[in-house]
């Protein structure tokens, strides 16, 4: 794999793997001579490799999963299974991958690797299991050769590499990602809730930012809505007028076929219906970071998972007949939206240029600490 020297590691203390039982692995291929295909019928196609796969493993005393799909053009696998009305309540891994619908093949490799190690729903007394592996894809086919996309081997390699330490930026499923006219990628963030009924609960997010919408305010040269109090936390500073002008010269969004996908995780022992509410709230974080979002051709999909390690105590103020988790859930949902926004920003800040796709950190050299 080329391009590894540019990879930046997720910062300890601010990554999804702060949650015990959550691990992340990548596998990608980025060729040195990769090119991006043109958008018109007479334009040349892309060449080389620039795509990959990211796998999030979930382990814990009471693992559970849910999903919320908002984009009009999703590419997904096993999302119906995660409906709270259905029987299966867990997932053993979530696959986020490039390759559009073709890339869903990466989940086959993850299933095979988990089966090999005995991970999955136990189906009989002979050790046979069925791993539950939901997946979502981004559209990155024009970046590199159209037929150069992840397969089962990518999924197998990604899940084997899963650990608490992992890279962010132009890696894994973010290898060929674009964010508007800029390079997209993988970003992560996390936060422990320190007060209120949810005190002690961890919430983390990992996002593959590949939106058709813009992630940078053209008037300020900063991510949308970033104020003075956000700058230090996000590792940013105000760009110079020359850098804002350089951003304007980057040009328009090259394609309308894009998608932002991700996982928001917690250790709170929520049931599937509550977890789905967390996934829904995470989409609010996408809306804070991307304009426009959830377009008819985006496939925006957010999975919510929990290890179930942190018990959720009932709050006496919640009236009988209501979800007893409501007070805790409300706090977790607020944080889920905020860290999802931060994970999108982290993806853009960490991304490195690939082929002809410019990166924010290179265009705005003094704005990134």
pLDDT at 186 over 90: yes
Distance, in Å, from the CA atom of 110 to the CA atom of 116, rounded to the nearest integer, reads 10
pLDDT at 148 over 90: yes
pLDDT at 355 over 90: no
Largest CA distance in the chain: 68
All domains in the chain, ordered by first residue: 16-363 (3.60.70.12)
pTM of the model: 0.95
Q: How many residues does the chain have?
A: 369
Taking Cα atoms as reference points, which of 219, 226, 294, 234 lies closest to residue 258?
Answer: 294
Say what angle helices 272-289 and 326-350 make with each other, to 10 degrees. 40
Query: What's the pLDDT tens digit per position in 209-264?
Result: 999 889 999 999 999 989 888 888 888 989 999 989 988 888 766 666 788 999 99
Taking Cα atoms as reference points, which of 172, 139, 185 lies closest to residue 295?
Answer: 139
The rounded percent of the chain whose pLDDT value lies above 90 is 78
């Amino acid at each position: 794999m080329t391009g590894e020297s540019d990879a930046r590691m997720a910062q300890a203390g601010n990554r999804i793997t702060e949650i015990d039982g959550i691990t992340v692995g990548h596998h990608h291929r980025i060729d040195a001579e990769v090119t991006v295909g043109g958008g018109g019928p007479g334009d040349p196609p892309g060449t080389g490799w620039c795509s990959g796969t990211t796998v999030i493993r979930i382990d814990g005393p009471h693992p559970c999963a849910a999903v919320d799909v908002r984009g009009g053009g999703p590419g997904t696998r096993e999302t119906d299974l995660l409906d709270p009305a259905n029987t299966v309540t867990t997932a053993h891994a979530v696959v986020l991958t490039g390759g559009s619908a073709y890339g869903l093949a990466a989940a086959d490799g993850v299933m095979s690797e988990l089966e090999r190690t005995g991970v999955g729903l136990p189906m009989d007394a002979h050790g046979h299991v069925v791993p539950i592996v939901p997946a979502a894809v981004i559209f990155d086919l024009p970046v590199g050769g159209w037929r150069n996309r992840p397969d089962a081997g990518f999924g197998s390699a990604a899940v084997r590499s899963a650990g608490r330490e992992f890279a962010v930026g132009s890696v894994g499923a973010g290898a060929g990602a674009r964010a508007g006219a800029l390079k997209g990628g993988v970003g992560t963030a996390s936060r422990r809730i320190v007060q209120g009924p949810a005190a002690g609960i961890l919430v983390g997010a990992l996002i593959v930012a590949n939106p058709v919408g813009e992630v940078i305010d053209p008037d300020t040269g900063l991510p949308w809505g970033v104020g003075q109090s956000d700058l230090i936390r996000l590792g940013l500073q105000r760009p110079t007028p020359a850098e804002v002008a350089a951003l304007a010269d980057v040009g328009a969004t090259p394609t309308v076929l894009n998608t932002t996908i991700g996982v928001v995780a917690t250790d709170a022992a929520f049931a599937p219906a509550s977890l789905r509410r967390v996934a829904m709230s995470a989409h609010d974080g996408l809306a804070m970071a991307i304009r426009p979002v959830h377009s008819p051709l985006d496939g925006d999909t957010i999975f919510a998972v929990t290890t179930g390690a942190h018990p959720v105590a009932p709050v006496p103020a919640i009236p009988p007949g209501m979800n007893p988790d409501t007070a805790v859930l409300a706090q977790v949902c607020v944080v889920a939206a905020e860290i999802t926004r931060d994970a999108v920003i982290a993806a853009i800040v960490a991304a490195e240029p690939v082929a002809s796709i410019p990166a924010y950190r290179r265009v705005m050299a003094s704005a990134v600490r």
